[in-house]
Amino acid sequence: MKKTLQIVTSAYRCNSEEQDDPVVWICQAMKGAGADLDMLLEGTAVNYAVKGQDASGLSFGTKAQTQPPRIEEDLKRLSAKGIKVYAIEEDVAARGLERSDLLEEIKGIARAELPKFFAQYHQIWRW
Amino acid sequence: MTLTFVMMEAPFENARTVSVLRLIDAAIRRRHDVTVFAYEGAVAMTFARQAPHANAVHGRTAEEEDHPLPKDWVAGLMTAAQQRGVKLEWINCGLCVDERGVAEAIPGAKRGSPADLWKASEASDNTLVIGTR
């Protein structure tokens, strides 16, 4: 079976409407279908690794959102299923984030390590 | 060779849709079998109710404008694949279709799930994802 690395490069694009991040979601679905994959958060997507985000409370007129996106829970669920979730350290630092701001499940990886890191996977899917 | 393409961009919004169609076209011309998994906005590429229009700015009728609609391009690719004896399988993510209300798709476009994407990828020599921003 192919082992793939799923790279998430943009964040918060349609999370309110989808009540999910579409790439994080499809990775969970593919894992459920038997896929062997890990995830790398790049660029703005490293923000997904930040603890304590709360998107609840959105409403327009009389229509309230009852199931807000809970990306933190999704990433924890991925990790519990054996999917390793990485974040590029330089992208984290560039956003003024500290390691202590991030979920424990997230593993940091430096850009210089990426070539060797990529070589562990049969394919790289960059979303 | 068998290739899988994943596309996310909705039609009419970005040059990415045309870029993906170029790649699919090239793959078919080279007689490769192709599976396309249309995700998110890309499920609208095959929406059967796309309609052409005239162009008053350029003074063209609808017929003269000959507006290329994505659904017609996809249908054209399906025909080209058939003529060359290769496979073009177009799978729209079903949940994405539902939430966008674009269930009326051109003949040949199927409804599927992430499991179908994974199966297609496993059966392919390579997979290319062209995401969106």
CATH number for the domain including A8? Answer: 3.40.1260.10
Task: Count CB atoms within 10 A of the CB of residue A15.
Answer: 19
Tokens of A60: 């327009």
Q: What is the pLDDT of residue A84?
A: 97
Q: Is the pLDDT of residue B67 over 90?
A: no
For residue B15, give how far its alpha carbon lies from the nearest alpha carbon of chain A (Å).
16
By C-alpha distance, the chain A residue nearest B118 is A30
Query: Total structural domains in chain A?
Result: 1
Q: What is the mean pLDDT of residues A26-55?
A: 96
Q: Does A3 touch chain B (CB under 8 A)?
A: no
Q: What confidence tier does B68 reach under pLDDT thresholds 50, 70, 90?
A: confident
Name every chain A residue with its beta carbon within 8 A of the beta carbon of B6: 125
Over 90: is that where the pLDDT of A125 sits?
yes
Identify the CA nearest to B93 among candidates B51, B46, B49, B128. Answer: B46
Domain of A52, in residue numbers: 3-126
Average pLDDT for A33-39: 96
C-alpha angle A112/A114/A118, rounded to 5°? 155
Q: Is the pLDDT of residue A108 over 90?
A: yes
pLDDT at B133: 86
Angstrom distance (rounded) from CA B3 to CA B12: 25
Q: Domains of chain B, with CATH numbers?
A: 2-130 (3.40.1260.10)
Query: Which of B114, B129, B131 lies at the smallest CB-CB distance from A30?
Result: B114
The arithmetic mean of pLDDT across residues B18-32, rounded, is 96
Average of per-residue pLDDT across A111-119: 98
Is pLDDT of A80 > 90?
yes
Which residues of chain B are within 8 Å of residue A37 when distances are taken between CB atoms? none
